[in-house]
Amino acid sequence: MGDGEMECFGPAAIYLRKPEKERVEAQNRKFDAKTAVFVCEPAEMYLKGTLKVREGGKATVETLCGKTLTVKEDEIFPMNPPKFDKIEDMAMMTHLNEPCVLYNLKERYAAWMIYTYSGLFCVTVNPYKWLPVYDAVVVSGYRGKKRIEAPPHIFSISDNAYQFMLTGMIIFDNHHRHYSHIIKSNCW
């Protein structure tokens, strides 16, 4: 779904999916998969960096801000290529480690894209403010679309559940099965 197809979501489109231009720029950004890492850092939790040396169970990383850190090897984590920045379904990431997941959620949140899929789950980060992603235009933008045809949103989950219920598409072993949705909320 390109920028033109996102018009059905009206002004909410910028809160649902990153623009095509940003996606293309990310795909063309230089990236060295062998040296691009996240490193544990007490004040920030994880920082992006470049692996400089790895020996004797230790790794030396230069962070993007120019700081050099030497840590245990198990305190560095491979980074995903830039094309995965703000990815809508984290199950598609090359590296599904804690810093990559947190980085993706942080980047999406910074752009007010509060909904993200993680495989079958829809993860929502509370923006603590009202966003224009709940009006009738957005509802109609999701109506009748499969989950993969639109950006992550609770409306997609609910519309798909409703469509499955109407059409009886949840069939296993030639039997209709009951199913449920689990909604879980954590507040920290």
The residue extents of the domains of the chain are 5-28+83-176, 36-79
3-state secondary structure of 96: coil
pLDDT tens-digit readout, 124-151: 999 999 999 999 999 999 999 999 999 9
Residues 122, 152 contacting (CB under 8 angstroms) = yes
User: Could you say which of 3.40.50.261, 3.40.718.10, 3.40.640.10, 2.30.30.360 is the CATH number of the domain covering 36-79?
Assistant: 2.30.30.360
How far is it, in rounded angstroms, from Cα 61 to Cα 51? 5
Whole-model pTM?
Answer: 0.87
CATH topology of domain 5-28+83-176: Kinesin (3.40.850)
CA dihedral sign, ordered 49, 151, 24, 129: negative
pLDDT tens-digit readout, 32-70: 999 999 999 989 899 999 999 999 999 999 999 999 999
pLDDT in the model for residue 74: 96
Burial class (CB in 10 A: 0-12, 13-18, 19+), 186: exposed
- Among residues 93, 126, 112, 155, the alpha carbon closest in space to that of 15 is found at 112
The DSSP call for residue 79 is P
Cα 91 to chain centroid distance, Å, stands at 8
